[in-house]
Structure 1
Amino acid sequence: MISVANLTKRFGRGNETALNNLSFDLLVGGVTGLVGPDGAGKTTLLRVLAGLLTRTKGELRVCGFDPQKNGAQLHAQLSYMPQKFGLYEDLTVLENLNLYADLRELGTERRQDRFDALLEFTGLATFTDRLAGALSGGMKQKLGLACSLVRKPRLLLLDEPSVGVDPISRRELWRMVKNLVDDGIGVVWSTAYLDEAELCDRVIVLSEGRSIFDGSPAKMTEPLADRTFHLVGLNHSRRRVLEDLLTRQEIVDGVIEGQNLRLVLSDRAASRSLAEEFPGAKLSSTRPRFEDAFMDRLGGAKQSRSPFRKLSKILRPENGVVIRSNALTKKFGSFAAAQDISFEIERGEIYGLIGPNGAGKSTTFKMMCGLLEPTSGNASIAGYDLGQSPSQARGRLGYMAQKFSLYADLSVHQNLEFFAGVYGLTGQSRRNAIDEMVATFDLTSIKEKNAGIIPLGHKQRLALACALMHRPDVLFLDEPTSGVDPRTRREFWSHINALSDNGTTVVVTTHFMEEAEYCDRVGLIFAGHMIAEGSPAELKLHAGNSEMTLEEAFVELVTTSSNLPEATAS
């Protein structure tokens, strides 16, 4: 299906190497996962395979064709779904499907059955007349996938198709892709979700444009036998213990997993001394995951504390409840995007909003930030009512949007300068804030590059830096780690945890349920209603099993919800 020999791709006058002497062959059938840290070359490789970029050197055949010489023949055999939503936002869902059917020369007599199947899978059947630009982020991804499949290809290239997609839809996506494979279609799936990599038949791991692993997921995890453990029964803050452990040489990686800490150790011997440090807790072996092996190959998590840990605590008169939502409701015509949403969040708490795509999370989020006026109900930030004192309320919060919302044509440094000015920073305080953000988020090497061309992980770092420029009391993060690699995700959460401990109240939306384990409390929104609220452990109990993962609890609670106006269990 694909034959690559000594493939190299360089960009610009500086000859920056995006792909460095890659060689591999892919046979027909199966799903090949393409993973790696941000900037590793995954998107560049897919675009070269699709014939959208020319190679600098090397040999390449895709479906028997040279993409540079036989582009038209190749495109008749191949479909490509780009990372960035590339459809027409001023066309409806159905108009986009018809456009792609026209481009693929799919006859009108064959369209209806194909459209019906795709709309049923994506859940877009009731949204055919809605403009693509009005869809949620996850629904846009689903529409992009549907358009790439209007005609059955031999080879399907998917560039992070599940970014911004909820756990239920991700499972549906995988079922559909597996069916495509059974029909003889080859799939290359680039992903930042490493639990997805475990579902692949083969995985290629890229780092700095080179392949550092090529084989089955099981082969990837072999070196970690007897090195992965659960630290069970901790009587201390899991977030704080994890932060302390990650500064030690013998700890390669660690994450919160349910009520436990999941740790990857440098060797088996390190487990003996570690088990003695926490009275009442115990260390038990657990099966290594692909993500454990990925972090191990890339040198593990950063062994340093967040610079935000050094900041003085935010001390305000209102050290109790900082955020209040009282029966917030937003209707668009007759459609209720959010209805009677109520909750309270205290100083320094990390509160997660989770739910399926289109459930009303982002709508609630935008009302809480003062970006969307509610139809009814009210909200307050740090004692300021968003309806009566919007300027004062906004001055106390920082906001990081789901979609990269900075200025693509300005450099990284110019974006920081602009937002420092927006937040009223001047003189030396402005320069100090910018320097602090550049150092904290490791932006020095890209400071003069335009924000629109830097890798996704760096874009997310820049967006968070701009939101924190003025040290807000409240930080709203709308899917801050969507699409970023596990190392960057851990870095983000080290900053979030440090800010929380220093008094910053954090509200975060996420589709990554392992990430939601870091929250003190979680609100689950479905069909515009808050259907469950509590700690991650309480949501699992509410779903019926304290031993299930949070993702399993999410699926259970959403799929069994009924009688929504009364479904306010917590």
Structure 2
Amino acid sequence: MPAAVQTPLVFTSVSKRFTAGNRVVSALQDISLSLSLGQVTALVGPDGAGKTTLLRLAAGLLLPDSGSIASFGLNTAAAGEQLHRLIGYMPQRFGLYEDLSVLENLNLYADLYGISQQDRQNRFAELMRMTNLQKFNQRLSGQLSGGMKQKLGLACTLLNRPRLLVLDEPSVGVDPLSRRELWQIIAMLVQEFGTTVLLSTAYMDEAERCQQVVLLDRGQILHQDAPAGFHRLADACSYQLSSPVLGKRMLQQRLQGQPDLIDSVVQGDAVRAVARPGSRPDWQAIFRFAEQVQIKPVPPRLEDAFIMLLLARHDDKSPAETACFVPGNGSRFLATEQPAVIEVEQVDRWFGSFQAVKKLSFDVRHGEIFGLLGANGAGKTTTFRMLCGLLPASNGRLRVAGLDLRKAAAQARARLGYMSQKFSLYGQLSVKQNLEFFSHAYGLRNRHRLERIAWAFQEFDLTDFADTNSVDLPLGYKQRLALACALMHEPEILFLDEPTSGIDPLARREFWTRINSLAAQGVTILVTTHFMEEAEYCDRLLIMREGDILAAGTPAQIRNRSHSADQAPADTMEEAFIRLLEITGEANG
């Protein structure tokens, strides 16, 4: 058989353009790419790089404006029906019909694929075992947790046993356990069936698992190689720093603005720093001897090269050069010395016969970054909605900014900002119209209103998108706009429900620079996240399981709690999170 017939996917000089209002957007420019049989290839890049466009072209859902695309020797412009049997495509948000049950979704996809009634029973049983969804056949997909939706979406995609599997951000919005299960399924498909996989991801640790990584930027391939090839680009540039005197936050602050550094991120109780290629940071000039800073070189990782390549091309200011003032000697405050501005006492929330939150009690103190973690369906978003006055508690007491939410929910809402898990602005309104609407809704008037809108445009670099409908914004700019609207009235408390879900590492760093700066100014922040590295930025954490408290404490205390007789304490928050859930049996539930 000719090699071309065996090649899962070949892009030859492919370009694709779209019209957005009066602008012509060049989504992809002269892309040439070839996938190897039975390999997993990751597509990475900043928001708006063209990843989703490339995946839709690969799946035959779009046709190129110029160039050609072939899958297993078939041209996608002419062989749509044949490719439908060879390629499986799972879009962002999993492509499910939320008003249909698990079984009804499977039957709908089986109809679309032309699978006979005789074959369905065996395939459904096989996929239910693979995804562990057997007990949920009759549940509406809209009532599934994010991790279950992910697995059902994958099961629907795999019904026709595709030879090429195309996945667009399959792990966005799902917890670490669900991400791990997804990768177990992908590994099984590759090993047992020789499936070729092309997926986009915002998580560089996932790209590290792949045989090939393609870095897209502004519609062009910036670099393509195995993960080890990316590592070589950042060789001898990465360091780990720790100090018992400064602590991780002050340590990171001191590294920001250093000309020889392009990146610094909190990593456990230490800080990971990345130097510019060919430079040698003068550590003695940055730190005093009495600060006892320990510095050791560490192996490079793909994320280091990702940031290095993008900053070199854009000539942008790096995250390490964005100053973020954090007072104190490594700790923003002593929690016991600060007043509680959020108080939760013995709170229940029932939905019919289902108890989503169970006797929950905790407090959050002034200027604190407080993290709320848990697997999908643990009750985090329900807790958030109750604290924002959007959902009443069934029992218990909730106080926000000194106000009882049973008696003064409207007054409390006026003192807080809320950025929801799903982009909740008005998609058919422009950026300017969204800012005008939210400033008016928050009661801003006249000159003050105009000043805050001008502040939002400047602070979040939104001027170039003023007349763009928010639905057409790249994900990172949607996030900027959502945060700008949440801060329009200068709230003293900010609720962030999975605010960085799906955005790239550079945008994630920019976001946390802003959050640390807000906390330094005294804003109290309550955040949920599935990205466990972000949990390290929190002063304290609460891990929920099935509506109850599984663990609480500082990030270091949580990691130390995850040890057992035959295991040392976890090195990372993700490892600690999974271990704690496994101890309670949730990982196998």
TM-score range, shorter chain: over 0.9
The correspondence for 1:527, drawn from 540, 546, 550, is 546
> Alpha-carbon deviation of 1:86?
2.7
Q: Deviations over 1:57-105 (max 9, x none)?
A: 1121122222222211111110111114432121122211111111112
> Alpha-carbon deviation of 1:560?
0.4
SS of the counterpart of 1:218?
helix
| Between 409-418 and 140-149, the greater mean CA deviation after superposition | 140-149
Q: For 1:437 and 1:179, how far apart are their aligned partners in 2? A: 47
Amino acid at match of 1:199: R
Amino acid at match of 1:519: C
Aligned pair count reads 557
**Equivalent position of 2:445 in the other structure:** 426
Amino acid at match of 1:7: V
Q: Within 5 Å, which residues of 2 pair with 1:126-145? A: 126-145=135-154
Q: Deviations over 1:215-252 (max 9, x none)?
A: 10000010222210101124225334323422222111
Confirm or deny: 8 A CA contact 2:417 2:486 kept in the other structure. yes
**Equivalent position of 1:223 in the other structure:** 233
Q: For 2:474 and 2:351, how far apart are their aligned partners in 1? A: 35
Q: For 1:338 and 1:274, how far apart are their aligned partners in 2? A: 51
Give the gaps of 5 or more residues in structure 1. 564-570
Change (3 A) 1:558 1:547: closer
**Equivalent position of 1:568 in the other structure:** none
Tell whether 2:289 aligns with 1:282.
no
Confirm or deny: 8 A CA contact 1:139 1:358 kept in the other structure. no
Tell whether 2:55 aligns with 1:43.
no
**Equivalent position of 2:390 in the other structure:** 371
**Equivalent position of 1:567 in the other structure:** none
SS of the counterpart of 2:151?
helix
**Equivalent position of 1:63 in the other structure:** 72
Confirm or deny: 8 A CA contact 1:3 1:60 kept in the other structure. yes
Q: Within 5 Å, which residues of 2 pair with 1:352-371? A: 352-371=371-390
SS of the counterpart of 2:252?
helix
**Equivalent position of 2:578 in the other structure:** 555
| Between 197-206 and 354-363, the greater mean CA deviation after superposition | 354-363
Confirm or deny: 8 A CA contact 1:328 1:364 kept in the other structure. no
TM-score (norm 2): 0.91
Confirm or deny: 8 A CA contact 2:385 2:391 kept in the other structure. yes
**Equivalent position of 1:18 in the other structure:** 27
| Between 255-264 and 130-139, the greater mean CA deviation after superposition | 130-139
**Equivalent position of 2:12 in the other structure:** 5
Change (3 A) 1:240 1:448: farther
Tell whether 2:194 aligns with 1:184.
yes
Q: For 2:149 and 2:281, how far apart are their aligned partners in 1? A: 46
**Equivalent position of 2:414 in the other structure:** 395
Q: Within 5 Å, which residues of 2 pair with 1:145-294? A: 145-182=154-191, 183-266=193-276, 267=278, 269-270=280-281, 272-273=283-284, 276-277=287-288, 279-294=291-306
Confirm or deny: 8 A CA contact 2:253 2:325 kept in the other structure. no
Change (3 A) 1:284 1:304: closer
SS of the counterpart of 2:398?
strand
Change (3 A) 1:96 1:469: same
> Alpha-carbon deviation of 1:333?
2.2
SS of the counterpart of 1:76?
helix
SS of the counterpart of 2:67?
strand
Q: Deviations over 1:251-290 (max 9, x none)?
A: 1111000100000012452154467446211111111111
Q: Deviations over 1:344-402 (max 9, x none)?
A: 11000001111111111111111111222222112110111111111111111111110
Q: For 1:14 and 1:45, how far apart are their aligned partners in 2? A: 20
Query: What is the CA RMSD across the aligned residues, in angstroms?
Result: 2.1
Q: For 1:207 and 1:508, how far apart are their aligned partners in 2? A: 30
Q: For 1:524 and 1:309, how far apart are their aligned partners in 2? A: 26
> Alpha-carbon deviation of 1:319?
5.6
Confirm or deny: 8 A CA contact 2:253 2:323 kept in the other structure. no
Q: For 2:162 and 2:574, how far apart are their aligned partners in 1? A: 32
**Equivalent position of 1:340 in the other structure:** 359
> Alpha-carbon deviation of 1:547?
4.9
Q: For 1:528 and 1:120, how far apart are their aligned partners in 2? A: 27
| Between 502-511 and 223-232, the greater mean CA deviation after superposition | 223-232
Change (3 A) 1:538 1:319: closer
SS of the counterpart of 1:157?
strand
Change (3 A) 1:277 1:106: farther
Q: For 1:439 and 1:194, how far apart are their aligned partners in 2? A: 30
Q: For 1:160 and 1:139, how far apart are their aligned partners in 2? A: 15
**Equivalent position of 2:3 in the other structure:** none
Q: Deviations over 1:277-326 (max 9, x none)?
A: 4621111111111111111111173355479999xx9xxxx961000111
**Equivalent position of 1:301 in the other structure:** 318
Amino acid at match of 1:158: L
Q: For 2:399 and 2:132, how far apart are their aligned partners in 1? A: 34
Q: For 1:234 and 1:53, how far apart are their aligned partners in 2? A: 55
Q: For 2:325 and 2:414, how far apart are their aligned partners in 1? A: 20
